[in-house]
Structure 1
Amino acid sequence: MLIGLAAFGLSARFTSPSFIFWTNPLILEFLFGIALARLWASGWAYPHPILCAAALAFGFALLIVLASLPLPRFLAAGFPATLIVAAGTLFCPARPIPGQLLGDASYGLYLSHRFALRAATLLLLPLLPATVFGAWVYVATTCMLALSFGLLTHLLLERPLQRGMTRPKGAPA
């Protein structure tokens, strides 16, 4: 269904915001994540350091190469990002605890990253020089801020809400 909606969105020129939203090819990036999660949950994994490194390197190489081509975002960024995530989830011999925590916090990061980026744009960007060095400082700082906001959102909001919504076995409804 998601593929059909995205294909419809790529072929049609909608003016209605709801049709534009529901047929945005960005939903294919969520489909990539769903596929990875299903593979991981089913036990499909080939942990091997060479596969892990190869998937990671290939994902980053594709990210750089495909960015210069006139491709839809789900191909230029979504597919390479899927390979990068697959490196850590399906091919990494042992999932380190920090990596697991970041994976658990991915929804909190998704929900909160825009706030971190907006704050950095308003507060940090005016202070930085308009140079390559300034750009790298901005990127590194916003990445760290976004990760921090995501982790805080996960630890202080998402986890407590999940615990509050889960009933212990045998508890009355």
Structure 2
Amino acid sequence: MMIVFTHGWDQLPWLKDRMPDITQSGVDLFFVISGFIMVYVTAKPGSSALHFFKLRIIRIVPLYWLYTFATAGLILILPQLFKTSVFTVPHFIQSLLFIPHWSPSGSLSPLILLGWTLNYEMFFYAMFAIAMVASTTRRVPITVAMLLVLPLVGLFVSFEGNAAGEFYSNDIILEFVFGMMLAQAFLKGAVDRVGVIGGGILIAAGAIGLCIGGYHLESPRALIFGVPAALIVAGALSIEASRYVPKMQPFLLLGDASYSIYLAHLFPIALLRFGWGRLMLPTDGLGPVLTFLAIALLGGALAGVASYLLLERPMLERIRQPQSRRLPNVIAARATAGSNIAP
């Protein structure tokens, strides 16, 4: 939802002149959480690199490709909805394959502009899978070493003009490292000892850090946004470990739909910007700005939830269906043979 806000903010020059783009740090929270989750879900014995990477492909690729095709179609049919996006065949193919490249507009972005974060995600997944092939038990230090190399090389070697070099040497990939370190601490029980009050202090410190970082955007991103994001995630983990987090269905639904929200929210914002301009509604002043942002947030959330319920969840269920169908048959066969299997 921070990313939905930041793309609403981006349409409002009046607000941009008065408030730095702090909510773009939602990406940094996303990367820290991703680093944590990948270590956490592979901590159980028997995890394999192939199974890990297969699940990541299933989770990320189908919906992303669907939205990439949809974006390509809209650019060709309704180009007025887009500020900078242009369709070319090489741009389209490299976007589908998560290859960092210069877009026709000159940015290091795929056809879906915010897909640059998924290019980092797929790179991280690939490095993590390679580390698991080398050693499942040492997957974390091996991945950390690989992720540290490129930013370090970038300090001494200029990658200017080289899309992959510029992209992968960015210090933002260190935020995955922060998440992995948090997962290691969490699995060892170190986070539990922080407690609820300590967790609240960490979250407050991280939030303040993000606000300060918004005024120092020329500094290394891993420092101005990555470290505060890691503090927020650490605080949230310590509170959750203390069992002080109630389950609230609306937030659970937003969490389930978060990937769909991320991919879908630009469409209602583009329509809102287009319609707002056609109606010649004001974008200056607190009232118009708050109204625009409220509609953008609501529209982004609703579009994402609809995408999750109508597209993402049915798609994932269909892809995973063959495996889920085999499992009951195996259990039934073993039960018939007299084996004692718990459901």
TM-score (norm 2): 0.41
Contact (CA 8 Å) 1:88, 1:95: kept in 2 or not? no
Q: How far is the alpha carbon of 1:66 from its aligned partner?
A: 1.7
How far off its partner does 1:15 sit? 0.9
1:159 Cα deviation from its structure 2 partner:
1.6
2:106 corresponds to which residue? none
Work out which of the two has the higher radius of gyration on C-alpha atoms and give 1 or 2.
Answer: 2
Aligned pair count?
171
Following the alignment from structure 1 to structure 2, what is the Cα–Cα distance between the partners of residues 108 and 41?
A: 28
Superposed CA deviations along residues 118-154 of structure 1, whole A, max 9, x for unmatched, are: 3333334652331233333333332333233332222
Partner-residue secondary structure (3-state), 1:13:
coil
Match of residue 23 from structure 1? 169
- The CA distance in 2 between the partners of 1:67 and 1:18, in whole Å, is 26
Distance 1:95 1:130, change over 3 A: same
- Note the residue ranges of structure 1 that are not aligned, 5 or more in a row: none
Matches within 5 A, 1:63-142: 63-69=210-216, 70-92=218-240, 93-97=244-248, 98-124=250-276, 127-142=281-296
Relative contact order, CA 8 A, sep 6+: which one is greater? Answer: 2
User: Which deviations, in whole Å up to 9, do the C-alpha atoms of 1:77-103 show, x marking residues without a partner?
Assistant: 343334334444442412423333333
Q: Provide the identity percentage.
A: 29
Which amino acid in the other structure matches residue 79 of structure 1? V
C-alpha distance in 2, partners of 1:171/1:9?
A: 53
Q: What secondary structure sits across from 1:71 in the alignment?
A: coil
Q: 1:34-78, CA deviations, whole angstroms, 9 ceiling, x for partnerless residues? A: 656x46984855384423432332222111112112323333334
Task: State how far apart, in whole Å, the 1-side matches of 2:186 and 2:307 are.
Answer: 24
RMSD between aligned alpha carbons? 3.4
Moved over 6 A (4+): none
Gaps of 5+ in 2: 1-145, 331-343
Could you say what secondary structure the match of 2:239 adopts? coil
Match of 2:308, SS state, is: helix
Letter matched to residue 4 of structure 1: V
Q: Name which of structure 1's ranges 27-36 and 150-159 shifts more when overlaid on structure 2.
A: 27-36
Q: 1:5 aligns with which of 150, 155, 165?
A: 150
Shift in Å at residue 161 of structure 1?
A: 1.8
Cα pair 2:265 2:303 within 8 Å, conserved = yes
Q: Relative to structure 1, is the Cα distance of residues 108 and 123 closer, same or farther in structure 2, using a 3 angstrom cutoff?
A: same
Does the 8 A contact of 1:3 with 1:28 survive in 2? yes
Give SS of 1:148's match: helix
TM-score by length of 1: 0.71
CA distance in 1, matches of 2:180, 2:258: 13
Work out the CA distance in 1 between the residues paired with 2:186 and 2:260.
21
Which stretch of structure 1 is more off in the superposition, 43-52 or 85-94?
43-52
